[in-house]
Amino acid sequence: MLAVRGIVKEFSGVRALDGVDLDVRPGEVHCLLGQNGAGKSTLIKVLAGAHRPTSGTVEWQGREVRPTSPVDALRSGIATMYQELDVVGGLTVAENVFLGHELSRGGVTRRRELHQRTRELLDRLGHNRLSPGREVGSLSAADQQIVSLARALSHDARLIVMDEPSAVLDSEEVGNLFRVVRQLTADGVAVLYISHRLEEIRQIGDRITVLKDGRTVATGLPVAGTQTADLIRLMTGRTLHRAFPARPPVPSDAAPLLEVRDLALRGVFSDVSFTVRAGEVVGLAGLVGSGRSEVLETVYGARRATAGQVLVGGRPLRPGSVPAAVRAGMGLAPEERKAQGLLLDEPVYRNITLSTFGRFARGPVLDERSERAVAREQIQALDLRPVDPDRPVRTLSGGNQQKAMLARWLVHGCRVLLLDEPTRGVDVGARAEMYELVNSLSRAGNAVVVVSSEIEEVLGLSDHVLVLAEGRVVHSGPAAQIDEHRVLDLVMEGSAA
């Protein structure tokens, strides 16, 4: 169905793709793997018509094609779902599904036909509970993905490219996504599936292509016959022997750095209490919507608690005040780092010094030389790549963007670090580096709180874990004394209560 041969893409003399080969068959899920910066996003944009290749060919259904725009690619039957969903919040489900090829006559929308056609597409995807007239901005991320899939099918797409489709989904929503994918492939639709979660590849994939440094290092590998260790070696060029670093014991006399007492946010969560000592990592587990991220934001002062108290170093914080939290030595790396944590078009050094401008002020002027010097120290200490403080932070991989966020709080001298989904969108090699970094931060005497949608990650990183369901703590105890199955049981029992 799709044959990519020797694709090269250069940007200002830099090769992002250097001879990529790939073929996708009708009705299969072909998984595209690689570390951040391997070339996956560039290849996707070539297929979507957003980039024109420097050389090489793309054959689609037996003939060479050169899509000049995403609209051109869609017309030929290739649809792309990016990680940042492209739904329009102010429009209805039906209006989003037929966006760009509206059903109208004489400039007037044929609303009855629009809703009927949308209903047929949603039924095909097994989501007849979604109303065509509902405003898309009110939907969950999982339902917005279904809207994007329905839009692809409205163009009669025969190949759907899915870029990290499970990144913002909980385990139940991922299961629903996989059910929809299997329905599509049963109809002969091909799916090119990109994910950093290797366990997902085992569940949904048929064959695998691996990219490294813009090159194809393996293609057409059968999922059933390929070991995870071999995939990691192909992606990283090395063998990772241990998923999570061993946790050193927290000294029994370690002082409490963060104390959360009976914290509540009306309508979201209630009676949340925990303590994090110097050198300790505490994890918060639960489904999307359980209140995990909201707890971190309330501790940090981004939301004003309706009850309870937060203390740092034994001193209570003023509720609802981020400046007070930062002054007390607390930093937050938010779930949506691009939208909430980084100035994407600013250089790396400016993102690192963002919370400490006063230190570099010389009257009304910032001492940029000093900013760069401090940033270089953190770049070296955290092994942030590339080693260029002037590079726009938007051009960094997900793992290095996360390091830039952490570097900001280390420059500030924060002792309490709140990490919300620290490895979202981060490849397997960079994940291992992030896990080591969390471990080293705690060994240095910092208090760390980690939120993650991946239960294995919470348990593997933490000394102590809290399980949340429907805004309530349903379990609190040592991470070593609970496993993934028990956490899921607690989550489901708590959600049903």
By C-alpha distance, which of 281, 199, 236 is closest to 460? 281
Predicted confidence (pLDDT) per residue in 303-356, tens digit: 999 999 999 999 999 999 999 999 999 999 998 888 788 999 999 999 999 988
Predicted confidence (pLDDT) per residue in 79-115, tens digit: 998 877 778 888 999 999 988 777 766 666 678 889 9
- Rounded Cα–Cα distance for residues 371 and 291 (Å): 37
**Quick one: pLDDT at residue 316?**
97
Predicted confidence (pLDDT) per residue in 43-93, tens digit: 999 999 999 999 999 999 999 998 888 889 988 999 998 877 778 888 999
**Quick one: pLDDT at residue 393?**
93
- Rounded Cα–Cα distance for residues 260 and 146 (Å): 38
- What six digits make up the tokens of 158? 């025969």
**Quick one: pLDDT at residue 242?**
56
Q: Mean pLDDT across the chain, nearest whole number? A: 89
The sign one gets for the Cα dihedral 391, 393, 394, 398 is positive
Kindly state which CATH superfamily the domain 256-496 is placed in: P-loop containing nucleotide triphosphate hydrolases (3.40.50.300)
Give the three-state DSSP class for 25. Answer: coil
Amino acid 288 reads: V
By C-alpha distance, which of 357, 350, 295, 361 is closest to 326? 357
- H-type helices in 77-170, by residue range? 93-97, 111-124, 141-154
51 contacts 45 by C-beta, under 8 angstroms: yes
Q: Is the pLDDT of residue 380 over 80?
A: yes
29 contacts 185 by C-beta, under 8 angstroms: yes
157 contacts 189 by C-beta, under 8 angstroms: yes
Predicted confidence (pLDDT) per residue in 8-20, tens digit: 999 877 789 999 9
Mean pLDDT of 114-121: 91
Residue 325 CB neighbours (<10 A)? 23
**Quick one: pLDDT at residue 270?**
97
Q: Is the pLDDT of residue 491 over 80?
A: yes
Mean pLDDT of 222-249: 82
- H-type helices in 252-387, by residue range? 292-300, 322-327, 348-352, 357-360, 368-381
Helices vs. strands in the chain: H and E counts, helices first: 17, 24
**Quick one: pLDDT at residue 47?**
95
Residue 139 CB neighbours (<10 A)? 18
- Rounded Cα–Cα distance for residues 181 and 203 (Å): 11
Length of the chain: 497
Mean pLDDT of 298-304: 97
- Rounded Cα–Cα distance for residues 135 and 457 (Å): 35
CATH topology of domain 2-236: Rossmann fold (3.40.50)
**Quick one: pLDDT at residue 330?**
97
Per-residue pLDDT band at 240 (split at 50, 70, 90):
low
CA distances from 262 to 259, 280, 417, 449 (A): 10, 20, 20, 17
By C-alpha distance, which of 45, 6, 41 is closest to 23? 6
**Quick one: pLDDT at residue 239?**
65
Contacts of 483 (CB under 8 A, 6+ apart): 459
- Rounded Cα–Cα distance for residues 58 and 177 (Å): 28
Per-residue pLDDT band at 125 (split at 50, 70, 90):
confident
**Quick one: pLDDT at residue 495?**
56
Per-residue pLDDT band at 484 (split at 50, 70, 90):
confident
Percentage with pLDDT > 90 across the chain: 56
- Rounded Cα–Cα distance for residues 31 and 487 (Å): 29
**Before 386, cis peptide (omega within 30)?**
yes
Percentage with pLDDT > 70 across the chain: 97
Q: How far is CA 460 from the centre of its chain?
A: 19
Q: What are the φ/ψ torsions at residue 348 (nearest 5 degrees)?
A: -55, -45
Between 156 and 481, name the one with better pLDDT. Answer: 481
Mean pLDDT is lowest, of 19-33, 73-87, 247-261, for: 73-87
- The domain locations on the chain are 2-236, 256-496
Q: What is the DSSP letter of 304?
A: -
**Quick one: pLDDT at residue 108?**
60
Contacts of 279 (CB under 8 A, 6+ apart): 248, 250, 251, 254, 442, 443, 445, 446, 447
- What six digits make up the tokens of 276? 């994090």
Q: Is 200 exposed, middle or buried (0-12, 13-18, 19+ CB in 10 A)?
A: middle
| Residue owning tokens 């397997």 | 428
Q: What is the DSSP letter of 255?
A: P
**Quick one: pLDDT at residue 252?**
86
Contacts of 412 (CB under 8 A, 6+ apart): 326, 331, 355, 356
Long-range contacts of 215-218 (CB under 8 A, 24+ apart): 215/18, 215/19, 215/20, 215/39, 216/19, 216/20, 216/21, 216/22
Q: Is 266 exposed, middle or buried (0-12, 13-18, 19+ CB in 10 A)?
A: exposed
Q: Is 334 exposed, middle or buried (0-12, 13-18, 19+ CB in 10 A)?
A: buried
Fold match between domain 2-236 and domain 256-496 = yes
Amino acid 381 reads: A
Highest mean pLDDT of the ranges 42-46, 125-129, 383-387: 42-46
pTM of the model: 0.69
Half-sphere exposure (CA, 13 Å, Cβ side) for 17?
28
For residue 32, what are the β-bridge partners?
A: 194, 209
